[in-house]
Structure 1
């Protein structure tokens, strides 16, 4: 019974010895040293073994012990070795860990979840390269790799020490499973992967993972991990499985791609607006748009982007990681910014030379044309594919854009518009805006193909 024993002293676990020792006092007043740890590290301090109450020399049983150890390890069990001996003192030192009696194994089973192999295949399909980095013995690690469908290219921490530090970058590229590692070796592997240009996420739950987690780009942990590990993690998953990682990657890419849409469309639109305003200041003999009209136009146009973060993303875009590319953004601005200006200048020509409009009509016409083109283009520039036919926007985004357009038309035909200097347009002007909008959308689709061809070259 446990109450018959009292803990008298302890030597904590460390990653050099890979052992933990405690000294217990029995109710009779005797002292027993009990040590547990990694199989090889326990065996090296044992001179004897206990078999059915008999104490034998360890040399007689090493073959049998090794056979048992390998059998359970190859089945994926975590095997912890146990040793003990009697002592005649009430404290212990490192030097007491010798001439001990091998007592047996503690066999633990932490089975892989049934869907783990499928999830790993899904992660690989997303362009995520996986490595198993563990302190478990190489036989257990090999079993895990086989069950998970990973290449069985395995190397142990002991073998890694034989290579120079500069060889590690080649090793982490070629091997998929790293076993029997100490915390510093785990950290070295993470740093080597980063030197190769990878963005590294490391998932850990124990103190031996802290160094590697801090060296990674993204530190991951689970709810049942040690408190200090969870505090060090960037993301803590409530469920300890890989499906959460896959979902996080997909949602992260979705959010990033939608933010890229915003950056591309908004900057190109702003560039086009600047070109239009610059030209209008020379071509129009009065102020083209009043300050509060510009502010209202910008407010309504920006409202179109409110639901963009929840927009649909093309599936093939989610299957590979995407990085921020400023050169591509510049090309996008140069390609699409002037397109909107072309139709702004067409509006100027129509209003000034055909319609011969006064300031109020000119401003109302340009306000509506600019709002319609800026808002609708969001539905077409959000994808590299043909809009609506090959890639559909989310319902929320479509409704938001339609709501903004309705608000703009409402302003023109309501008393609130008079406060902004906006006035109703006739049927002819509305038909013109409709033709300009269709032409703009058609040209945008054509330029998209040209832009895609230029990028591919």
Structure 2
């Protein structure tokens, strides 16, 4: 065998025979055994990703903005000779690094599984037979067949047929390239027209462009939520810096020592750093993707789990999404004097299953629903001759024998069939009226006629069949559910306005259907305005969908778009939520952010609901983070001003962070309810609400500290422990109230969250009563902090929180 790793360009001037010789191949394809040998020698048709060693990936998590802040806190703690605190902070950092590492590894395995689910298939000639193989199994010398919508799995030379391909992903040129036999078609090209038999010349990293273009991108860009949460964290650090500046100025004039100021800085730093952020984000995203996968929705872009929550307009392809994407007989209308069964039987006799004609199959399938007709068809009639539908004469016909007599049956275009029939004026008038009624409903109509047994050419019109792409049984219900989620459904169809209106009527979508030609004739400002007033667009070409999505986005909408074809890809990529339906071509799946595995609307509704649940979990985390930072910093600084001492020790803050982070991690899997409206991040509203709630918590904390000083006569370390317990217990109750937008009792927290809260409370009661690692307090002092925190948070803060959330519409 010659070296198969020559450049793809070297094959340009070779004839077919020379190419076959160079590749040691034949027009009959390779054998499976030979293909296996070539895989062993040259590898799979894929670019090997440079995978980091697990240990290197693990330790890399100690490097970054948030680890740096914690590592700074460790260094400062050692400087202050607080070795235990430094160890605790390091353990906390390591726990979060470990959790993040484990979930990343788990997510990588899940993405590998998704890649296999979404793997591009290609027709390959093996052992003289055409078989469907994963693109990664293609080897040099394979004979493959490619057509409309296919992604080229490797560099190949065309043997027969012609192609028009889109190489924009490779060259940046948007114009299609026309290719003929002996031309080279490169890996990553998209077939937009034609069909061709090709021989693979190079695979994987040996393709002309240096590497195979990734066939299905499982992308993970930074999500919108992650950016927002990081911004919130940045603001919290600013708040800490401001509080520290005020405290330093006060400490300077109050004559406090330098070590006290450094200790305060470390405490404020620990209070503001979102230690659990990476782990929480990873768990939230992974949980959402796994929940969707269980429902049969494959996520190709993790941020789509969040983006779907904000969608307020959903563009739905009529065909295949709202309808079943197959022709079916929807009604039979006999002419006076004939029965419905006679019309169906005659139409079935003038049809054949062998030719796979969609109209013939629709007629025969309808006949099969009527057992008596099917029995007559099979037992009593013999087809003498059959002429399939001919576009030039617009009819199909058959000569049939029954009980020794022969007659002719004909079905086809109404005007043609009626022209062949001898009909009285009354029959013609009746037929004309029926035709008009069915045309008004957008049906495709077939006329059916049969002859007498005496004269095969003496045709009588016996009735009509109305055919259509029937609406899915659940479409109407699911569209209503989409509306109840606060999303406006917008039907997109290539059919005419009449058909579009009929389908819209059946699913209660609305009757404002606009032909896309009118939309395109309008000025851009008027056109985008019209999109807010219509229920659907008709006569739409796939390339029009991109401009529809852009127009809706110009009006400030977050758009979801379904699609299945090559030309749908730009619209799917432009939309916030690109949805490739179950039978979409590879290009559409690659452009979409989620891929459905079942037809219809059910999985779309599921996707939106789950994404909103994910949003609510993240919203809880954000509110909890802001309020926690405000409460701890506010209480610490105001306590310093009033009592001229640190009312919270460095060790206490490390324990507080340790306790709170475990509870906040479990928010990622908490029970949450999806909203009946789109969820859009509004940091201003969230921050205002959190500031108000945080202020109430500061007041409660100050009252508790005042009781510790004036009633329990605590000071020094005992007061610091008392303050820490107040913050620990109030933090657990805070999670319970901020996780619910209504009153805290409106829903039960998740099992993990409940157990973590109970675990923290019990642990700190035991530590406080037995004096383990912290000074002991009396039972009534500990239970005062617990009871007061519970009453203050649940009885006072929660009702006010409910009013605040309702007012700012969080």
User: Same fold per TM (> 0.5)?
Assistant: yes
Moved more, 227-236 or 289-298: 289-298
Residue in 1 that maps onto 2:663: 304
Pairwise CA distance, 1:122: 0.5
Listed as ranges, the matches of 1:208-227 within 5 Å are 208-227=567-586
User: Structure 1 residue 436 and structure 2 residue 788: aligned?
Assistant: yes
For 2:707, which of 350, 355, 359 is the aligned residue? 350
**Change beyond 3 A, Cα 1:286–1:160:** closer
**Change beyond 3 A, Cα 1:161–1:288:** closer
Residue in 2 that maps onto 1:378: 735
Listed as ranges, the matches of 1:301-380 within 5 Å are 301-313=660-672, 318-380=675-737
CA distance in 2 between counterparts of 1:125 and 1:76 reads: 31
Listed as ranges, the matches of 1:67-216 within 5 Å are 74=441, 110-216=469-575
The answer to whether the Cα contact below 8 Å between 2:565 and 2:585 also exists between their aligned partners in 1 is yes
Q: Which runs of 5+ in 1 are unaligned?
A: 1-7, 14-19, 23-46, 80-106
CA distance in 2 between counterparts of 1:190 and 1:150 reads: 19
CA distance in 2 between counterparts of 1:52 and 1:244 reads: 40
**Change beyond 3 A, Cα 1:21–1:278:** closer
For 1:234, which of 575, 581, 593 is the aligned residue? 593
CA distance in 2 between counterparts of 1:411 and 1:69 reads: 85
CA distance in 1 between counterparts of 2:445 and 2:697 reads: 65
For 1:394, which of 725, 750, 755 is the aligned residue? 750
* CA deviation vs aligned residue, 1:329-381 (integer Å, no higher than 9, x gap): 23213311122222322233233333333433222222212100111121123
The answer to whether the Cα contact below 8 Å between 2:570 and 2:591 also exists between their aligned partners in 1 is no
Residue in 2 that maps onto 1:32: none
**Change beyond 3 A, Cα 1:63–1:262:** farther
**Change beyond 3 A, Cα 1:63–1:130:** farther
CA distance in 2 between counterparts of 1:21 and 1:301 reads: 61
Pairwise CA distance, 1:231: 0.4
Listed as ranges, the matches of 1:6-45 within 5 Å are none
Q: Under a length normalisation based on structure 1, what TM-score does the superposition of the two structures give?
A: 0.72
The answer to whether the Cα contact below 8 Å between 1:268 and 1:332 also exists between their aligned partners in 2 is no
RMSD of Structure 2 on Structure 1 (CA): 3.8
**Aligned residue pairs, count:** 382
Pairwise CA distance, 1:48: 6.1
Is the partner of 2:625 in helix, strand or coil?
helix
**Change beyond 3 A, Cα 1:190–1:76:** farther
User: Structure 1 residue 405 and structure 2 residue 764: aligned?
Assistant: no
Pairwise CA distance, 1:127: 0.9
Q: Which runs of 5+ in 2 are unaligned?
A: 1-159, 166-192, 196-390, 398-412, 420-431, 447-465
The answer to whether the Cα contact below 8 Å between 2:743 and 2:802 also exists between their aligned partners in 1 is no
The answer to whether the Cα contact below 8 Å between 1:70 and 1:139 also exists between their aligned partners in 2 is no
Residue in 2 that maps onto 1:447: 800
Is the partner of 2:595 in helix, strand or coil?
strand
Is the partner of 2:540 in helix, strand or coil?
coil
**Change beyond 3 A, Cα 1:127–1:76:** farther
CA distance in 2 between counterparts of 1:290 and 1:378 reads: 23
Pairwise CA distance, 1:192: 1.4
CA distance in 2 between counterparts of 1:72 and 1:9 reads: 40
Pairwise CA distance, 1:221: 0.6
